[in-house]
Structure formats: structure tokens, C-alpha cells
Amino acid sequence: MERYYVSLFNYVEQLIVLPETDKASIRESFRPLFVPKNTIIEYAGQIPQYHNFIVTGHMRSFHLDDDNNEITVDLNDGPRFFTSYYHFMHRSVSDKNLHCITDCELLRISRDDVDRTAGHSSTQKDYTIWILQQHLEEDRIRIQDMANITAEARYLKMQKEKPNIFKHVPLRYIASYLGITQRHLSRLRAETGS
């Protein structure tokens, strides 16, 4: 299980060097979890209990629209934190579902453990703020792209920036994330030869 923690340390250390005391705290408070594919680990209408770090696998966050269609609003491309972050931090009811598309290896920390470890970690506040800023920036860019560039441009951008998603995530989820139908996505793929 040490490789789970190494993956998390490498991710956080893109921003800040973790002292050994904080690494020990992470090993103590983050629990490894294997989740089989097609499992929803967090349901809309509930207060999220865990902050998840994806070691391996692909997840999506989705909600249901007024016609009960699934709208994918987030997909991961590699290791990263994946949670209904605002609701987790504020202990409020989330409108999102978290779905493991593939088998996933996770590290997860409970909300109570976040509070408990914050008092003696020298870096937790810094990397928590960084994670929040990253989420906000990704959301801002996605909203801007949805409003200002064509479906074809969004598809080509995603293919360039996140090619791994196309190898592991069903097209219906990618199409939903891009804000188009699966038929439209298939047509774009045929037209661009990719």
C-alpha cells in the first residue's frame, strides 16, 4: 500500500515539500480503498463523508437534470483529489454523485480526520488551499469553454490535454462532459479522424 501514499505525496509535492511528520500523518489518516468499476461511492442528497484521492482509475462526478439525464461535470485524468469539495468542507448536502467508471484505487480521509490533522500539520492548510484553487480554476475554464468555443474545439482540446480519458472512459460520459450527444461526439471523431 505504500505506493498509494507515494502517489499522493508526488501529487502534493508539485506544490510543496512534505515534511516526514506530515507524511506520517497522511499515512495515519488516509485509508486505502479498492472500489470496483461501475460503483457509485457518493450519492446526491447526502453529505459527503470523505475526501478521495484517486491513485489509479477513472471517476466522474455527475448530477441529474430536470429530465433525469445524467450530466457529467468532472472526469479525472490521472491521480488527483476527487470529491464534492465544497459540500465536503461545509458538511452540506451535495447534488453530485461520484462514480468509479473503472476499478479505482483510492486514499480517503474523513471530514473529522481533516479537522483533527489540521492542528498539527505544517503543510495541510497550504495544499488544501492549492487543491481548492485548482478545482475553482478547472471549473472556471470549463464554464468559459462551454460558453465560448464550439463542441469541436472542446473535443479537440480535451483530446490534446487529456488523451488518456479517451482510452478508459465510455464515450457517453465524455459526450455528456463536453455538453453534446454521443452521436455528435461520434460524428466529430469521424470528421477529425481521431
Q: Within 10 Å of residue 139's Cβ, how many Cβ atoms?
A: 12
CA distances from 89 to 66, 94, 110, 136 (A): 27, 11, 10, 14
Polymer length in residues for the chain: 194
* Domain interval for residue 44: 2-121
Segment 43-57, tens digit of pLDDT: 999 999 999 999 999
Q: Is residue 34 part of a domain?
A: yes
- What pLDDT is stored for residue 132 in this prediction? 80
Which residue did the predictor score with more confidence, 124 or 156?
156
Pick 91 or 117 by higher pLDDT: 91
In this prediction, residues 137-158 reach a mean pLDDT of 91
Do the domain assignments include residue 161? Answer: no
- Number of domains into which the chain is organized: 1
pLDDT attached to residue 94: 96
Residue 159 lies in a domain: no
67 occurs within a structural domain: yes
Residues 6+ apart with CB under 8 A from 18: 9, 12, 26, 123
CB proximity list for 20: less than 8 A, separation 6 or greater? none
Q: Comparing 47-51, 93-97, 136-140, which segment has the lowest mean pLDDT?
A: 136-140
Range with lowest mean pLDDT among 8-12, 31-35, 133-137, 144-148: 133-137
> Which DSSP category does 46 fall into?
S
Contact yes or no for 100/36 (Cβ under 8 A): yes
Q: What is the CATH number of the domain that holds 62?
A: 2.60.120.10
pTM for this structure? 0.91
> How far apart are the C-alpha atoms of 93 and 39, rounded to whole Å?
20
